[in-house]
Structure 1
Amino acid sequence: MSSRTLAGWGTAACAVLLLPLAACTTGHSGAGPSRAVPERSSGSATPGEVTVTATAAPERPVFRAPELDDGETLAGRRQPTSGNASFELGKGRRGDALVVHVRCEGRGSMYVVVRSVGVSFPVDCLAGQISSYENQLALTGADRGGTVSVSAPPAVRWSVTVGRGAPAPKGTDGGG
């Protein structure tokens, strides 16, 4: 939290600084020049001074690459970036599924292509929030190494983590 004491500005200081009116107090009488005085611990203003208190903005969540779920092993990862990029996937065990975890923020759509299994899918990203998606690909060839390519506009920040694990049982989310 930061705190400043301003003299002789009255309520106009709040409007100029875009602070809510409740954050300012004033007792300026308008009689003669004012002087700045140190802020008192009580936070009250005396005639001739304006106390402006600005609170820090709430912390935004840190944008990181998605984590793997329990039971998954890392096949490949691209740390947060924007625009178009590709990364390599390592080989896996026969019978494992690929699980593609995507995280993005910013308004726009990105397009993810997993070449080793011949799959592509769009991802819609929203302005002002971090969106997370997961796609399980229990397909022939999921154990092969390969490349993941992402096309995204510069306004979209994204990251992808690809894991390998046992396919989800049929009839559950992510299963065939």
Structure 2
Amino acid sequence: MTLSMLGAAMLFAVAACSADHSDAKQRARSGHPTASHSATATAPSSTQPLVQKPPELDADETLAGRQKATTGNAEVAFARGRKGDALIVAVRCQGKGTVKVAVRPVHLSFPLECLADKVSTTYNQVAVSGVNRDGTVSVEAPTAVRWSLTVGRGAPAQEESPGTDANSPEAS
């Protein structure tokens, strides 16, 4: 790996961590709208959200399903949405272990590494064919991990042109 690629990879890894929910969710939506996007936030212990409270959606997003604090495995059903909306799956966890999340019918799955002393939250937005259907989110989690989940629907992320920096004068 070249030094510039390594530097870019390190910059991306640092940029993906945020304690601010809206900042993390904005990053999750900044890519290509036909793929799954994820952002993970780990808050310092003094400002951590509680695992008992499922992640919140933005005001312009619609709730489709929710699970309060849970340990072990569970399935959460979510309601049908409008054609053209993206599906949002937000998971919050605490406790040492890996949570495995699977979303049907869109065949999306992702792991979330949970820590014993910190609350971690990940937001995924999916805008692929079939996300307007109803479905289920299956969560596999060790009993040492407490987790909560929110499923929502909203407008897909806007696709940015490659090489365009949102902070550059050309983007204005």
TM over 0.5: yes
Under a length normalisation based on structure 1, what TM-score does the superposition of the two structures give? 0.62
Once the two structures are TM-superposed, the CA of residue 70 in structure 1 deviates from its matched residue by 2.7
Give the whole-Å Cα distance in 2 for the aligned partners of 1:113 and 1:146. Answer: 11
1:69 shift after superposition: 1.7
**Distance 1:125-1:89 versus aligned 2 partners, 3 A rule:** same
1:29 maps to none
**2:151 paired residue number:** 162
Identify which range, 109-118 or 62-71, moves more after superposition. Answer: 62-71
Give the structure 2 partner of residue 78 of structure 1. 67
Conserved 8 A contact 2:48-2:119: no
Could you tell me which runs of 5 or more consecutive residues in structure 1 were left unpaired when the two chains were aligned. Answer: 1-57
Q: Helix, strand or coil for the counterpart of 2:105?
A: helix
CA deviation after TM superposition for structure 1 residue 171, in Å: 3.0
Q: Percent identity?
A: 55
State the secondary structure of the residue aligned to 1:170. coil
Bigger RCO (CA 8 Å, 6+ sep)? 2
Residue identity matched to 1:171: E
Q: Which residue of 2 aligns with 1:46?
A: none
Provide the secondary structure at the position in 1 that maps to 2:116. Answer: coil
Structure 1 residue 88 and structure 2 residue 77: aligned? Answer: yes
The structure that has the greater radius of gyration is 1
Q: Using the alignment, how far apart are the partners of 1:116 and 1:165 within structure 2?
A: 18
- 3-state secondary structure, aligned to 1:78: strand
Helix, strand or coil for the counterpart of 1:117?
Answer: coil
Distance 1:72-1:61 versus aligned 2 partners, 3 A rule: closer
Instruction: Give the structure with the higher percent helix.
Output: 2
Partner in structure 1 of residue 103 of structure 2: 114
Superposed counterparts of 1:97-176, under 5 Å:
97-171=86-160
Aligned length: 115
In 1, the alpha carbon distance for the partners of 2:131 and 2:103 equals 10
- The 5 Å alignment of 1:35-50 reads none
The list of structure 1 runs, each at least 4 consecutive aligned residues, that deviate by more than 4 angstroms after superposition, is 58-61
Distance 2:141 2:83 in 1: 31
Query: Is 1:62 equivalent to 2:50 in the alignment?
Result: yes
Runs of at least 5 residues in structure 2 that lack an aligned partner in the other structure: 1-45, 162-172
Q: Which amino acid aligns with 1:102?
A: V
What residue is the counterpart of 1:33 in the other structure? none
TM-score (norm 2): 0.63
Q: Secondary structure at the match of 1:147?
A: strand
Distance 1:110 1:60, change over 3 A: closer
Q: Is the 8 A contact 2:85 2:155 kept in 1?
A: yes
1:150-170 residue CA offsets vs partner (Å, 9 max, x unmatched): 000000000110110000011
Distance, in Å, in 1 between the alignment partners of 2:116 and 2:92 is 13
